[in-house]
Amino acid sequence: MSIKSLLIANRGEIAVRIIRAAKELGIRTIQVYSDADSEALAVRMADEAINIGPAQAAKSYLKAEAILDAAKSSGADAVHPGYGFFSENADFADAVVEAGMVFVGPDGDTIRMMGDKVSARKTAAAAGVPTVPGSPGRMDDMEEAREIILETGFPAMIKAAAGGGGRGIRIIDSLEEFDRLAPQASAEALAAFGDGGLYIEKVIKKARHIEVQVMGDGDRAVHFFERDCSLQRRRQKVWEEAPAQALNEEVRQKLCASAVSLAESVKYRGAGTVEYLYDEVSNEYYFIEMNTRIQVEHPVTEMITGVDLMREMIEIAGGKKLSLEQENIGFSGHAIEVRLNAEDPAANFMPHPGIVQDLTIPGGPGVRFDGSIYSGFAIPPYYDSLLGKLLVWDETREQCIDRLKRALQELQIGGVKTTKPLFQVLSEDEEIRRGDFDTNWLEKWLTENIGLIKSQEGSEQ
C-alpha cells in the first residue's frame, strides 16, 4: 500500500524533517502536538494539526491512545515515530498495525528482538558479529553476576538492557562498586524505560563510537557506510561525522558488511543503525547495540551519499522494495553535524529555554540546517533541548571543519544560550582538527577548557 497520509508522532526538528520528506512524496501530513507545542514549526508546516494533550510527554507524546485516536480521526494511513518517544516501542508498533495503519519502522517482533540490548547481543553473536565480552544474558541472579564480573575483569560497565540516551550506565572497578552501583543503575533504568534489567560489558578503553547506517526491505539490506560519533558528553553524541577517518578501507568494508549480515539475519525492514566500539590499537570492532529507527545524525550520511534516507524509509514502509543496489551506493567528501541545544555550555550545559530572537540561518555551498525554530519562537521547557542541527559538507575533513567555522559565524540565535560557542572553540582545536579523539576525549577536554568557552560566549554578546 502506498502511503497517502502520514501522522507524525513526534515533535521538534525530526517532525519538521519528516514533513519535508512527506511533502516531496505528495503525502498529506498530520502533526500531533501538546499544549506546549501549539506554535511549533512542524504544526505550522503540516497540512493538519491535532492537539493530543498536556505538555508533559507522558500525557501527550507518550500517550498511545491519544495518538491512535488522532490517527484514526484524521484518516491517516501511516504513523511515523521519529526518534525517542514511541520509536522503539514494540507494543506501539503493533497497536498501529492492529488499527489498520502502517508503522514507519520495523515490525514489533523485530523491535522486541533488537531493542532489548541483551537479546540484540545474542542475535549479533549468532550472525557472526563480534560483541563486547560480558554477561551472556541479563543478570537476574546476583551471585552468578558477581562470578561473571570477575571473569570479565575490571573496569567493567553496568548497562541497562532497555537502555538509550546514555542512561542506566555505570563504570565499576571492583565488586564492592558493583554491589553499590547496580541497584542505582537498575532504578534509573526502571524509571526511564519501565525495565530495570542489567547486563555487564568489559570497558573498551580508547574506543571510537562507529556506527553503520543500514536499510532493509525484508528481503535484502544495504548499508550507507559509517559515522564516527565519538564526541560525546554523558554518553550522548554532540558532534558526528562521516566517513570515519579512523577506518582503513579494509576494516570499513568488513564493518559495513557485518552490519548488513546482522540486518539480513533478522529480515530487517526500514532504517536502522548498528552501533560499534572500535579499538584503534587492535583494529578490532565490537557490536554494542542496534537502533531500530531513524537517528538524529542521519543527515551526515545523506550528505556524503546523496541519498534521502527519510524518503527511502517512508517508501519502504509503504511497501516498495529498496531502490538501490549496494554497488550503486558510494560516498564522497566529508560531512559534520553539530547539535545545537538550548543549553549553556559554560554553565554545565544547564537548559536555557527562552524566546528565539534575531535568527540567522547560515547558507552557501555545503551547508544544511535541520531545525525547528524561527524568530519569535518560544522554546518549551518540557522536552529535550535540541533546537537544530548544523551540517556541513566539503571535499576533505579539513575543509569541512573550516566550513563549519564559517557557518557557525553566520549562525545567530539570539534570546537564548546555545551550544554554538562550544563548537566554535572545538573547531579551532588541534586534536579535533587532527581527528585525534576517543569517546572519553570531550568530557576531559571540557573540564580543562571551560574558560575558552566562557570567553567565546562573552565575545558573542
Stretch that binds ligand ADP, among 136-144, 295-303, 349-357, 359-367 (CB under 6 A): 295-303
Question: Which is nearest to 110 in space by CA: 282, 228, 267?
Answer: 267
Which amino acid, residue 48?
E
Which entry of Mg ion, ligand ADP, none binds 209, CB below 5 to 8 A by partner kind?
A: ligand ADP
Q: Of residues 190-209, which lie at the interface with ligand ADP (CB under 6 A)?
A: 201, 203-204, 207, 209
Residues 265-284 that bind Mg ion (CB under 5 A): 275
Q: Which of 48, 94, 384, 402 binds ligand ADP (CB under 6 A)?
A: 384
Known catalytic residue at 293? yes
- Three cell numbers written together for 226: 559509517
Q: Which residues pair with 79 in a beta bridge?
A: 7, 103
Provide the minimum distance between the beta carbon of 286 and ligand ADP in the complex, in angstroms, as a whole number: 7
Three-state SS string over 386-423 comes to EEEEEEEEECCHHHHHHHHHHHHHHCEEECCCCCHHHH
Question: At a CB cut-off of 8 Å and minimum separation 6, what does 13 contact?
Answer: 370, 371, 372, 386, 387, 388, 389
Specify whether the CB–CB gap between 6 and 29 falls below 8 A: yes
Nearer to ligand ADP, 426 or 452 (CB): 426
- Binding status of residue 232 toward ligand ADP by CB under 6 A: yes
Q: Which entry of 293, 339, 397, 403 is annotated as an active-site residue?
A: 293
Query: Helix or strand or coil: residue 360?
Result: strand
Amino acid at 252: R
Q: How far is the CB of 438 from ligand ADP (least distance, A)?
A: 9
Q: Does 292 bind ligand ADP (CB under 6 A)?
A: no
Q: Count residues binding ligand ADP (CB under 6 A).
A: 28
The count of C-alpha atoms lying within 13 angstroms of the C-alpha of 441, restricted to the half-sphere facing its C-beta, is 20
> Does the protein bind ligand ADP through residue 291 (CB under 6 A)?
yes
Site string for Mg ion, 177-206 (x = CB under 5 A): ------------------------------
DSSP state at residue 55 = S
The answer to whether 372 contacts ligand ADP (rule: CB under 6 A) is no
Q: For the window 120-159, what string marks contact with ligand ADP as x by the rule CB under 6 A? A: ------------x------------------------x--
Closer to Mg ion at the Cβ: 275 or 315?
275
For ligand ADP, the binding residue among 114, 296, 304, 408 (CB under 6 A) is: 296
Nearest to 390 by CA among 400, 376, 398, 377: 400
Dist CA 338 CA 37 (whole Å): 24
Say which amino acid occupies 55. Answer: A
Inter-CA distances, 266 with 219, 259, 276, 322, Å: 10, 11, 18, 16
Residue 57 or 78 with smaller CB distance to ligand ADP: 57
Residue with smaller CB distance to ligand ADP, 41 or 452: 41
Residue 301 binds what, of Mg ion, ligand ADP, none (CB under 5 to 8 Å, by partner type)?
none
The single residue among 29, 295, 418, 424 that binds ligand ADP, judged by CB under 6 A, is 295
Query: Between residues 114 and 260, which has the closer beta carbon with respect to ligand ADP?
Result: 114
Exposure on the CB side of residue 352, measured as CA atoms within 13 A: 21
Question: Residues 309-348: x/- map of binding to ligand ADP (CB under 6 A)?
Answer: ----------------------------------------
Pick 286 or 393: Cβ nearer ligand ADP: 286
* Cβ nearer to ligand ADP, comparing 28 with 237: 237
Nearest to 366 by CA among 340, 389, 339, 335: 335
Please tell me the distance from the alpha carbon of residue 380 to that of residue 35, in angstroms, as a whole number.
10
In this structure, which amino acid lies at residue 187? A
Q: For residues 383 and 194, what is the distance between their CA atoms, to the nearest angstrom?
A: 19
Burial 281-295 (b: 16+ CB within 10 A, else e): eeeebbbbbbbbbbb
The site partner of 158 among ligand ADP, Mg ion, none (C-beta below 5 to 8 Å per kind) is: none
In what order do the strands lie in the sheet containing 198-202? 170-172, 156-160, 198-202
Amino acid at 261: S
- 270 SS3 class: strand
Which CB, 387 or 452, lies closer to ligand ADP? Answer: 387
Q: Which does 341 bind (CB under 5 to 8 A by kind): Mg ion, ligand ADP, none?
A: none
Q: Does 424 bind ligand ADP (CB under 6 A)?
A: no
CB 183 within 8 A of CB 191: no
Q: Which residues are catalytic?
A: 293
Which residues sit at the interface with Mg ion, rule CB under 5 A? 275
Binding site for ligand ADP (CB under 6 A): 83-84, 132, 157, 163-166, 169, 201, 203-204, 207, 209, 232, 235-237, 275, 277, 288-289, 291, 295-297, 384, 439
